[in-house]
């Protein structure tokens, strides 16, 4: 049994669901998991007490949230010293017309900026959650979705995540821990 730390950055909550899914999958494999929002990390939290660390974040307006850069830079030594992984959540990674190159570019730009090179990375398709947006964001997202050929019916939400891919990501991480 290993101890795993998961940190996630979310705005509308979908990355939280993905992070929780990974946590549950790892717990089902008898690992101990500690999970926190990356913008509410307990004071003094140190990955040193964990065997592995997973960080995940969604994309808004073309980048991951700035505070995540500072957090990953602060934890970089500890992240580099143990198995670590990063996943990025966006609409580019899924939807009606996926743009996998754009999704990869968000992820790689971030990792380059923070100078962290985890052995395992993934891009997951996110969600269009019209019900969670204010008036301005709803109209903006409908316009963007329309241009991208995505779903524009604002009376419902859309989820594009491939949950099997999320499970495979968790399984691969567990495998890496075993080999570490
Ligand atoms: C205001 C806004 C801006 C977004 N900008 C982008 C973007 O630039 N590229 C992209 O691929 N997805 C973009 N997305 C899609 C989000 O990454 C997607 O909705 C994701 O599921 C959000 O995850 P969260 O609920 O964890 O924040 C945007 C979403 C919103 C609401």
The model's pLDDT over 117-132, given as tens digits with 9 standing for 90+, comes to 999 999 999 999 999 9
Instruction: Please report, for the chain, the start and end positions of each structural domain, with discontinuous segments joined by +.
Output: 3-126+161-179, 129-160
Does 60 contact ligand 1 (Cβ within 6 A)? Answer: yes
pLDDT of 96: 81
> Ligand 1: which residue has its CA nearest to atom 20?
126
Give mean pLDDT, residues 101-127: 98
Q: What is the pLDDT of residues 33-83, one digit of tens each?
A: 999 999 999 988 888 889 999 999 999 999 999 999 999 999 999 999 999
Digit-coded pLDDT (tens) for 141-175: 999 999 888 899 999 999 999 999 999 999 999 99
pLDDT band at 97, cuts 50/70/90? confident
**Cα 1 to ligand 1 centroid, rounded to whole Å:** 35
Give the pLDDT score at 45: 86
The Cα–Cα gap between 104 and 173 comes to: 19
Residue 58 burial class via C-beta count within 10 angstroms: exposed 0-12, middle 13-18, buried 19 and up: buried
Q: Is the pLDDT of residue 137 over 90?
A: yes
Residue-level pLDDT at 72: 97
Does residue 95 have a pLDDT over 90? no
The alpha carbon of 30 and the centre of ligand 1 are apart by a number of angstroms equal to 32
Is 17's C-beta closer than 6 angstroms to any atom of ligand 1? no
**CATH code of domain 3-126+161-179:** 3.40.50.360
pLDDT at 1: 86
Task: Output the CA 60–ligand 1 centroid distance in Å.
Answer: 4
Q: Which residues of 18-37 are buried (b: 16+ CB within 10 A; e: fewer)?
A: bbebbbebbeebebebbbee
For residue 133, give the ligand 1 atom closest to its CA: 31
Judged by DSSP in three states, 40 sits in: helix
Tell how far CA 87 is from the center of its chain. 4
């Amino acid at each position: 049994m290993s101890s795993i730390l998961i940190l996630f950055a979310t705005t509308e909550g979908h990355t939280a669901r993905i992070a929780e899914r990974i946590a549950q999958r790892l717990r089902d494999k008898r690992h101990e998991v500690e999970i926190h929002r990356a913008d509410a990390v307990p004071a003094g939290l140190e990955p040193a007490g964990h065997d592995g660390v997973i960080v995940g974040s969604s994309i808004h307006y073309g980048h991951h949230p700035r505070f995540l850069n500072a957090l990953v830079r602060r934890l970089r030594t500890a992240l580099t010293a143990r198995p670590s992984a990063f996943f990025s959540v966006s609409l580019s990674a899924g939807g009606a017309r996926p743009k996998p190159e754009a999704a990869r570019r968000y992820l790689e730009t971030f990792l380059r900026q923070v100078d962290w090179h985890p052995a395992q990375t993934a891009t997951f398709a996110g969600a269009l959650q019209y019900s969670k947006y204010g008036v301005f964001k709803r109209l903006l997202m409908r316009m963007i979705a329309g241009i991208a050929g995505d779903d524009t019916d604002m009376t419902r939400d859309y989820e594009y995540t491939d949950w099997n891919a999320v499970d495979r990501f968790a399984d691969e991480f567990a495998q890496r821990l075993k080999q570490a």
